[in-house]
Chain A
Amino acid sequence: MAGTRIPPGVFVAALAVVAVAAPLAMPTPFYVDIMIRVALFSFIGVAWNLLGGYAKQLSLGHAAFFGLGAYTSTILEVNYGVSPWIGMLAGGVVAAAASLPIGAMCFRLRGPYFAISTIATAQVLMLLFLKFRGLAWGAEGTTIPNLGDAPLMMQFAAKAAYYYVALALLAVALVVTWLIERSWMGYYLVALGEDEDAAEAVGVNVPRIKRHVFAISAFLTGLAGTFYIQYIYFIDPNTAFSFNISVEAALVSIVGGIGTLWGPVLGTALLEVTSALLQSWLGAGLGGVQLTIYALILMAVILLRPTGLIGLLTDARDRLFGGGKRTKEVVFDG
């Protein structure tokens, strides 16, 4: 995989140092904001990628887990005063638990059927939260109580603190992915993503592995939901179950390099930084420019470079260090 010329340990250590030190070097808090977005959406992307990238189960409904995680911790905090740190874990567990019935339904379907059924699931959850006001504030939503600087309640005066929380989450997701990628489960995921029947033929319990990875992916996505709501101070069904979350999760993975450890991080970095810069350059009156550019990047990746940015980087590396064969696809080696 990527980064084999430089010893991976050194590469990761250097990256970690840069990531931790970066906020100190930022001229204004705005850049820290961009970094928070990069870390958060990378995290969601990495979580999605476990299911969508490695196992090729192209979910377009991850907002379901994001929203369930977000609502769990917010209900716990606002109604019962439970710290979002605990709520975050509870939200992850609720999301993972919800993945079981959702998986039981959607995994009966393959390919585009599966994708559409996941969209429908997330939509139904959103509509239910809109309809049943007794459940959690209905359409009006609620704001997070303003507690000032209260780290134990996941509220910080310093913006950098939010960044470190997001970064820690991202690190967790990367470590989880790395461990899975290097274990039997990684092989099983890629195998079933390639050909479910053939995987079954060599003893892969495809439904069970799908269930497990779906639960892990949902758990992580649920954590992201809590962090996000704490960060934007507000929750309503349209925010928590936003189709955009589902799309962004898939998009960053595909643009960065689907089924690779670092792909979602690279993809998010490109898309978010592009978007933030466009935003600050153009101010109001952007009028669709940004999403047009997103769409063009996505189409270019699909048509020209299905390996995404990871593919470009490995090519560049190979050209520098000799070799120079164009990577057409990500290959999983033993």
Chain B
Amino acid sequence: MADALVVRDLSKRFGGLLAVQSFSFSVAENETMALIGPNGAGKTTSFHLITGYHRPDPGSSVVAFGRELVGLKPHDICAFGLARTFQVARPFGHMTVLANVMTGAFLRGRKLEAARERAREAIAFVGLEARAHTPARDLTTIDQRRLEMARALATEPRLLMFDEVMAGLNPSEIDQAVALIGKLSGRGLTIIIIEHVMRAIMAVASRIVVLDHGQKIAEGEPKEVMSDPDVIRAYLGSGYAAKPAAGEAPC
């Protein structure tokens, strides 16, 4: 299978802190990969680097569907087919759910009616139809995350990057989310998730990459990665069980 995303030597230094260090991985088309690691490991920073929010240090390379992304702006990257969500959902508060998702839909066509149609589809996909005309800031946190997924979907991406969309969900909600990701994968999308909910990861991911202190410490099938002693040490050392609390600062 062809690679959807190939990341080589991704590095980022903030002042004296090496947030991400020669991080390399690749994701095959239509694969669902999970990026895991303790708090502060550099997962969200990696998302920011891949999607153009931070500029990677020289020598880094991010190739998606055969095209180098380093140096592109986030909106270019989105237009190229990489959509993401934020760790703490960032809906457009004073817009309704529908308007939020339409904003995403306009990327693939500027006609109002068509965008509205595509937005309604995406809203239905995440199960928010009943709230279509609710202002986004009045939604529950969980619905805000759903909204963000719908908004990302409306941009008709080839590669989706979800940053902890399941944090704080109850078991039945997690099942819904897992099913949703399965459905997306079924449509042929490539998916990368940052997640702490192990049950979900085991259910959706075909492969896991583990980051610790900005470095990749393990990569492979879920089962084998979870039994890797380095991974266990990294997690136990940083109190894996205490999750989820307030995570890394957004951006």
Contact = CB atoms under 8 A, between A and B. Distances in A.
Q: For B83, B96, B102, B115, which residue has the most chain A Cβ atoms within 10 angstroms? A: B102
B110 A194 contact: no
A207 B76 CA distance: 12
Given A187-B106, A194-B94, A205 B99 contact: no
B107 interface: yes
Contacts of A197: 53, 74, 86, 90, 251
B91 to A, nearest CB: 7
A30 interface: no
Contacts of A201: 51, 74, 78, 83-86, 90, 152
Interface string B100-140: 11111011001010011001000000000000110100000
A332 B99 contact: yes
A203 B98 CA distance: 17
B92 A206 contact: no
A202 B90 contact: no
Q: For this complex, into which size category does the number of interface residues on chain B fall?
A: 35 or more
B151 interface: yes
Nearest to A187: B103
B236 interface: no
Given A184-B115, A198-B90, A203 B96 contact: no
Interface string A187-200: 11011001101111
Interface string B42-55: 00000000011100
Nearest to A334: B98
Nearest to B76: A205
B95 interface: yes
A119 interface: no
Q: For B76, B90, B92, B102, which residue has the most chain A Cβ atoms within 10 angstroms? A: B92
A165 interface: no
A149 interface: no
A334 B74 CA distance: 24
A334 B92 contact: no
Contacts of B132: 334
A280 interface: no
B103 A204 contact: yes
Nearest to B116: A334
A197 B73 CA distance: 11
A188 B100 CA distance: 10
A187 B95 CA distance: 9
Given A202-B83, A334-B99, A184 B112 contact: yes
Interface in A305-334: 329-334
Contacts of A206: 75
A182 B106 CA distance: 13
Given A184-B115, A334-B116, A203 B99 contact: no
Interface of A: 182-184, 187-188, 190-191, 194-195, 197-207, 329-334
Interface of B: 51-53, 73-76, 78-79, 83-86, 90-96, 98-104, 106-107, 110, 112, 115-116, 119, 132-133, 135, 151-152, 154-155, 251
